[in-house]
Amino acid sequence: MKKILVEQTYRRVDLARFEQTFFSQAFNDAICDPVGMRERQLVEETALDDGTVRLVTRWVAKAQLPRVLGKLAGTREISYRERSIWDPENHTLSYEIVHPFEKQFQVRGSIHFSSTGDGVHQRLEAEVQVKIPGVRSMVERFLEGELNKAYELKHGLMQRYLDDHAPRDAAPAQSPGAIDE
């Protein structure tokens, strides 16, 4: 199993506005194309008795699987579901990726947000487990590289989005309460 850590800091934003933006459909729609995705759709949002929120999000990539893998998967579409639990009290999102190749590899982890005074620190901890004999470490390194590239790109896009959509007045952002559309 490969453990991956990605830490990033965003400036000029408070924790409430950051979280509201992170979960917003508008922000996620804005970054789909630049990060190679065709679609992001929130398919479930359920408030749980313990104060957490269950989220299921479907992501569809612009790229397609090669024909040979498409035959194995039953489709050439590259898509996955992200099943998550958002804990607003602890500012933590725990997730697992659900995809057609789960028997071969699994991805799960958590993202924690914390205030830094003038910004927000994001800490992503992921675990990648590959069950393909002979290529396990190569696939784990590949997935680690892709995850790092994606989060580096997303960092720049999110900082720009936050700056471009900053409130005109100095009032702090409202708490998201429930996940915002």
- Position 86 scores a pLDDT of 98
Q: How confident is the model at residue 104 (pLDDT cuts 50, 70, 90)?
A: confident
- Position 175 scores a pLDDT of 45
Higher-pLDDT residue of 138, 28: 28
- Nearest-angstrom CA–CA distance, 80 and 101: 10
Region 74-92: mean pLDDT is 92
Environment class of 122 (CB within 10 Å of its CB; exposed 0-12, middle 13-18, buried 19+): buried
pLDDT at 172 over 70: no
Q: How confident is the model at residue 178 (pLDDT cuts 50, 70, 90)?
A: very low
46, 61, 113 from 15: Cα distances, Å:
22, 29, 8
Residues with Cβ < 8 Å from 151, sequence gap 6 or more?
6, 8, 124
> What are the chain's domains?
2-164 (3.30.530.20)
